[in-house]
Chain A
């Protein structure tokens, strides 16, 4: 039943010699079935932790590797080409190679930043030119050595202007602002030459970037514009040049980087083991979780490689360990987008019922009930097909909800909000709203009952028998809910007798007894808690069920919105009519589609998952030898 549960797991303990750990790590990683999470050694038996020199070297190398991969946009191998052991010296050498490559990247990065600054400077020169052109002045005058005056033309952050002005005034200098561009302002600083040295450090502190007036810009402003354009094209060609150099360098190192990726992937398992392993002297203990069907193959591989120098013991996880046992849940790619939504809420605990299939089916159905329209459903399907390559997961999601919309569209007889083109196979929602509400109500009852059954199952699986029987979401809770529904039904049918309340009281008493013995509070407090909580349980069950009336409400809402669109469209003739119809349908498709998607998720999470799903499990993350998974 792996479809509804995580795969069976075993707790595995390895006792081996310290020198054999690297080889064992590679074997375990190669099997992709061993996870180290939440498995520590007994501190009294294995008190020694080990120096993490290897791990530190690995972390530094991995940091550099990630930066290089992202800088050059390299896709690492999915699997290592050749399995081998990576010694500390080998790792150190790899780290040094990475340092050399990253140093070269840093040079490129710094050069790109310089070019960025140059781009900014050109923009400022353009701004200066616009200003200077008004004064009809030769820019070279600012650069010439003057006898008494010290002049600086440059850019500073606008935030510094006011303070720098006052600071410069202390040294007898004057600052004038010219043009503000972004967060910077270009300024002219002038003063007597005798204080030149003092203001140099001040200008540096103010991040003053001197604008060197290039020779090309000397001369009359009329000719300058063309010269700035030349500078711009120089900038572009330099940018292109650096990009080309980067491409050449990339092609030069790409093989090396892929090989380094393999080395790091091979070093990672031992790094992780070395950080967690404990021992005494040369004897090491490593614990973890292993897939049940891999226990024997792994035992054989380790014993073949290490001979009698390894002792392996395994056992099934204890119920008290279920919340820390990793869950390995695999499903077909078709329900992956829905699984993601389940994971967003939480990961099923080991042995807990995996709600992915239930979620997928109920989500698709509830979406269709609330948004039944053949035309709109076909739009979702179309969009799903368009996005199938770029966003495969979202595409699957759209295809399924689209198909559900089409199915319910046929049942409701709705096509792009037109209710009379296709005859309803079942019912047009607005023709009998009461029936729609009744269907939604019974759907809610079914949903709550089913989820209570899941909850009971989960509690039994966790060997939590008392809660399975007597808890709010246990057998007692389910009996209470059924009794409440039955009582309500009987009173509607005017077949009500006071003795029927006993059916409600009995499970309440069972739940009360359970609470009484679970609580440590005083007797008075316990009684108060039981009364308040019993009241709360009944209200919650009622509210949960009524919450499903939104299924009917949204199917009616869809028709109501359609009526609004048609009323508006009918006020116009010809083209106007069709524009309103198209825009109205788009509005319904996007806005109502999004609202229904969220409301369905809300029903799943709050009326569903919160009732039975512990969702505090750990994702099974086995050691692996994939360079791509290093990122």
Chain B
């Protein structure tokens, strides 16, 4: 007989199992990059639940067609599946999953703030926004009609993003620059995520920690390198902008890394799990940061796949599915976009970090 907790998770996990058949293997993605509109290629798109992209009824070859609308289409599918899974949860678990999905709205907030700070017109900002569907919680029209950044933030103070807006506005009033705005928004998002992580049961926390920790590791290390090397921030300032709660990059290691001034020395001091995978592949600061980002992202995906294979009836496996599905949809979108731009296989592989 199932334990009560496991019984509660049986329905969402069944949904995850059902939706997992849309996940592609390494070979499938490789085939998508390699082939062009063949039967096997179409089969992979069908497997990914993207049958509507193969328009044999109108004869238009959509596999060579990508547009901003397609991005919305992919996102809609992701949100639809995510929402049906999240609805099966309640309490702190649901709160965490919904918060995780709110990244889409966070991206919209950043787009609006960036647009307003650059005095771009409403329509061009709106064209760049994602449609979060049932997760919508932002008064988009009002935000777009705001005259400037402070007005956007004041409007946000009346939404569920009140504390994010309050602190971002305080910071913006001191320094009117977009960098501060975006870092503040990101920082507040991760503070919120950590808060929700802390409300989970001890068992959930234990299982979630390696997955969420890996994501935070990736974000922290990439930011550390960008802030220190590209923007030349001081060690203390850089460290302050990082997030708490890493898994393999503990806070003490980050404290040591921020003190180092040159990228070569930072790379030498990277933890073993990372330096082994990077050896001989690093080439120039900018490309190195890019490579580290993609290596760490792949690490997150690999771990998520491992969770999905091994774990049963857990919040972590649901989150793992959401992470993989989002990443795969964005990967497929990038591949199709690359093909629509007639890029060759090698360039597409490089652009999406796929070897």
Contact = CB atoms under 8 A, between A and B. Distances in A.
Interface of A: 56, 59-60, 63-64, 67, 99, 102-103, 106, 109-110, 113, 157, 159-160, 162-164, 166-168, 170-171, 183, 198-199, 201-202, 204-207, 209
Given A113-B154, A162-B244, A205-B241, A167 B236 contact: yes
Contacts of A206: 240
A171 B236 contact: yes
Contacts of B213: none
B14 interface: no
A204 B150 contact: no
Interface in B211-266: 233-237, 239-242, 244, 251, 255, 258-259
Contacts of B49: none
A103 B141 CA distance: 19
Q: Is the interface of B mostly helix, strand, loop or mixed?
A: helix
Interface string B44-56: 0000000000000
Given A60-B145, A163-B244, A201-B234, A209 B239 contact: no
Interface stretch (B111-119, B169-177, B291-299, B310-318): B169-177
B5 to A, nearest CB: 30
B145 A167 contact: no
A63 B143 CA distance: 10
Contacts of A201: 233-234, 237
B145 A64 contact: yes
Given A56-B123, A207-B170, A209-B170, A202 B234 contact: yes
B68 interface: no
Q: State the 8 A-B residue pairs at the shortest beta-carbon distance, nearest first.
A: A63-B145, A167-B240, A207-B170, A170-B236, A167-B236, A167-B239, A202-B237, A204-B174
A202 B171 contact: no
A170 B239 CA distance: 9
Interface residues on B, range: 35 or more
A285 to B, nearest CB: 26
B147 interface: yes
A132 B163 CA distance: 29
Interface of B: 122-123, 141-142, 145, 147-148, 150-151, 154, 163, 167, 170-171, 174-175, 180, 183-184, 191, 195, 233-237, 239-242, 244, 251, 255, 258-259
B175 A204 contact: yes
A106 B147 contact: yes
A166 B259 contact: no
Q: Is the interface of A mostly helix, strand, loop or mixed?
A: helix
A60 B150 CA distance: 18
Given A106-B151, A157-B167, A170 B241 contact: no
B147 A198 contact: no
A250 B174 CA distance: 30
A113 B151 CA distance: 11
A359 B123 CA distance: 45
B154 A164 contact: no
6 contacts: A103-B147, A166-B239, A167-B237, A201-B233, A205-B183, A205-B240
Given A202-B237, A206-B240, 17 more contacts: A59-B122, A99-B147, A102-B147, A103-B147, A106-B151, A162-B244, A163-B240, A164-B240, A167-B236, A167-B237, A170-B235, A170-B236, A170-B255, A204-B175, A207-B170, A207-B171, A207-B184
Given A113-B154, A170-B258, A209-B170, A183 B163 contact: yes
B259 A170 contact: yes
Nearest to B195: A159
B198 to A, nearest CB: 12
Contacts of A198: 234, 236-237
A315 B233 CA distance: 71
B255 to A, nearest CB: 7
Most chain B CB inside 10 Å of its own CB: which residue of A60, A157, A159: A159
A67 to B, nearest CB: 7
Nearest to A155: B170
Given A60-B145, A106-B147, A205 B154 contact: no
B54 to A, nearest CB: 23
A440 B63 CA distance: 62
B123 A202 contact: no
Contacts of B237: 167, 198, 201-202, 205
Contacts of B180: 205
A243 B43 CA distance: 67
A56 B241 CA distance: 40
A163 B151 contact: no
Most chain A CB inside 10 Å of its own CB: which residue of B123, B141, B170, B171: B170
B175 to A, nearest CB: 6
A102 B154 CA distance: 14
Contacts of A56: 123
Most chain A CB inside 10 Å of its own CB: which residue of B142, B163, B183, B240: B240
A202 B122 CA distance: 33
Most chain A CB inside 10 Å of its own CB: which residue of B142, B154, B167, B259: B167
Contacts of A205: 171, 180, 183-184, 237, 240-241
B115 to A, nearest CB: 15
Contacts of B239: 163, 166-167, 170
Contacts of A60: 122, 145
B154 A109 contact: yes
Nearest to B241: A205
Contacts of A99: 147
Nearest to B155: A67
A145 to B, nearest CB: 22
A537 B235 CA distance: 74
Most chain B CB inside 10 Å of its own CB: which residue of A103, A163, A205, A207: A205
B173 to A, nearest CB: 9
A64 B147 CA distance: 9
Contacts of A162: 244
A215 B266 CA distance: 48
A159 B191 contact: yes
A306 B154 CA distance: 48
Nearest to A114: B173
B255 A166 contact: yes
A171 B240 CA distance: 12
Contacts of B147: 99, 102-103, 106
Contacts of B151: 106, 109
A56 B122 CA distance: 9
A173 to B, nearest CB: 8
A202 B191 contact: no
B244 A204 contact: no
Contacts of B235: 170-171
Contacts of B175: 204
Contacts of B244: 162-163
Contacts of A59: 122, 145
A156 to B, nearest CB: 10
A207 B167 contact: yes
Contacts of A102: 147
A162 B184 CA distance: 16
Contacts of B123: 56
Given A56-B123, A67-B145, A159-B191, A202 B236 contact: yes
Given A60-B145, A67-B145, A110 B150 contact: yes
A59 to B, nearest CB: 8
Contacts of B171: 204-205, 207
A1 B154 CA distance: 52
Contacts of A168: 236
Contacts of A106: 147-148, 150-151
